Amino acid sequence: MNFWNQPFVKKTVTVSIFLTLSVGIFLRINNLNNVNYRTPDEVTYTYQATEIARFGTGAVKILVSEYNNDNRSWFYPSPIRIGYIGLVAVIMKMTHTLGDERAGAYVACFFSIIGLLILIAAGLKFLNPYITLFGLIFLSVSPMDLAIARRAWQDAMLGSLAALLIYLSCAITSSRRKIILYALFVFTGSYCILIKESGTIIYTICLLWVLWMLSVKKRLFPEGVFLTTASILGGCLSITVLAYIGGGFPVIIEALKHHLGSIPNNQYALIYQSGPWYNLPLGLWIVDPVNTILCLIGTITALFNGVSNLKNLDEQDYEKRFAVPGIAFFMIAFLAITMLAPHCQNLRYLSVLYVPFYLMAGLGLWRFILFCKNRKNTLLFMIIAAAVFGIIITTAIGNYLIFKNLFVDVGLNDLSVNLLKKYALIVR
């Protein structure tokens, strides 16, 4: 009998996934209240959400007007990110934390946990339980994800919804009944636009991927046209709603221009978020070197082999072979855009890649295990298996210690690459 198909092994993996999820949830909740300093962005989001909580959506128009008339505020997040600050305002009223940055942190923690669940769903549906377990272990103790899960930033929320959008893209390309999936895809993508400006990029990449699969690979032209039309209408509706509550299209466009135009003059961005294009991969290497290597292996094999030779417990659906290369395509596309964008070398901006990054790392580790198993040497395989177990445990403990040392003990308040380079030697 195949080792991977034995009932005891399958049950052990299922229990391990549940236990790992529990640990991941505990770590995020346990680190919510150990932030000693809130960043200017967090203070800005909190102020904007507080005004909305107090005066309703009518406050957005005033906030946008204030933003446009004060050039000092252009270096900070604009109030047009209503998808995030609106939700924080709701949480403030529900938890009676008006004016408190903890409301935003609650939102971040919640969506970080949602990211864990999305990884499980995507891994079990499109890969296999072992890859899912590996990826979940790595994401549960990810220094990057733990860092943003305790902060009143929008990155955790955008990251989780981007992961959901990727999942829906995979599901659309691997399912025959897609109406509900289409609706969820359009809703999620349209909402991402309201969270942050880069939400439009995320939505566009996923839409192009799905359209390629539907129109080119599967020759389903009517479905491609339908999804394109629905996506454009959904995006336009989001922008229209934003314009309606923000004071009109010209005012919203003005706020966007002010924020984007201020970046080249932002001293923080110039000092800590600028440099050669390879700074972003270098940042991943600094924070999580083992998973950076494993993700590279997983991504390369995903592009060239898809789901072949994964040896899943169940037969892979023929259609699902498109999902894994699609995840790899999204990662490469978004990473390339971010690397080439000026003054954007911050691992917070890669939060949309956290879930696929660790899924691909899990896939990379699984490919390594299969490679060793195929050597037909049982003793060697057992030695390699023990080594893999050691790598998982050592990496997990090491990553959590990096988070504790860098972001809790040292008190690093951002994930900009030059800041990480400056302080990384302290914890090595």
pLDDT at position 316 is 47
- Averaged pLDDT, 139-168: 96
Looking at the predicted structure, is the pLDDT value of residue 54 above 70? yes
pLDDT at position 348 is 95
The DSSP line for 284-317 is: HHHH-HHHHHHHHHHHHHHHHHTTTT---SSPPP
More confident residue, 174 or 152: 152
pLDDT at position 385 is 74
Provide the whole-model pTM: 0.92
Q: How many helices (H) and strands (E) does the chain have?
A: 19, 0
Mention every residue, 6+ apart, whose C-beta is less than 8 A from residue 412: 147, 406, 419, 420, 423
Between CA 163 and CA 366 the distance in angstroms is: 21
- Percent of the chain at pLDDT > 70 equals 91
For residue range 213-263, what is the model confidence (pLDDT) as tens digits? 888 877 888 888 888 999 999 999 999 999 999 999 999 999 999 998 888
Do the beta carbons of residue 89 and residue 322 sit within 8 Å?
Answer: no
Between CA 143 and CA 402 the distance in angstroms is: 6
pLDDT at position 318 is 55
State the virtual CA torsion across 149, 152, 153, 154 in degrees, nearest 10: 90
**Residue ranges covered by each domain of the chain:** 14-256+266-427
For residue range 354-401, what is the model confidence (pLDDT) as tens digits? 999 999 999 999 888 887 776 666 677 677 778 878 888 998 999 999
For residue range 137-146, what is the model confidence (pLDDT) as tens digits? 999 999 999 9
- Averaged pLDDT, 100-107: 93
The DSSP line for 18-82 is: HHHHHHHHHHHHHTTT------HHHHHHHHHHHHHHHHTTHHHHHHHHHHHH-GGGGGS--TT-H
